């Protein structure tokens, strides 16, 4: 999918190195030389970049079949679920849900 922001093992930030890594590979660097140029010396971080499969471009092709109204409904459902997760501990949650539903519908 999308390159993780941090290495799963050591926690080093690697998400900002993906584009540079691809550029170095396009410039005929080997995988090892590209990772050395990016100063990734730990094998766990090197593994994160070498084994990543970038599927996001392929998945975005399938999203074009959705209609605008379906996308809008999906967005509203995501907003409602986010709102509910924020208000989960709130004792006034039913009131907040009704207020949110009124805002969305009108």
pLDDT value at position 93? 52
List, for residues 6-27, the tens digit of each pLDDT value: 999 999 999 999 999 999 999 9
**Backbone torsion region of residue 28, taken as left when φ is above 0, otherwise alpha when ψ lies between -120 and 50, otherwise beta:** left
Q: What is the pTM of this model?
A: 0.55
Low-confidence ranges of the chain (pLDDT < 70): 1, 63-106
Query: What does the alpha-carbon distance between residue 31 and residue 4 come to, in Å, rounded to a whole number?
Result: 19
């Amino acid at each position: 999918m999308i390159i993780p922001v941090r290495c799963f093992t050591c926690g080093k930030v690697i998400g900002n190195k993906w584009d540079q890594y691809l550029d170095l590979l396009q410039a005929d660097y080997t995988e090892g030389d590209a990772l050395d140029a990016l100063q990734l010396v730990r094998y766990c971080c090197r593994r994160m970049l070498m084994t990543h499969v970038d599927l996001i471009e392929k998945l975005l092709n399938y999203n074009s079949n959705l209609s605008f109204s379906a996308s809008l409904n999906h967005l509203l459902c995501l907003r409602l679920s986010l709102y509910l997760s924020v208000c989960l501990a709130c004792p006034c949650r039913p009131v907040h849900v009704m207020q949110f539903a009124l805002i969305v519908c009108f």
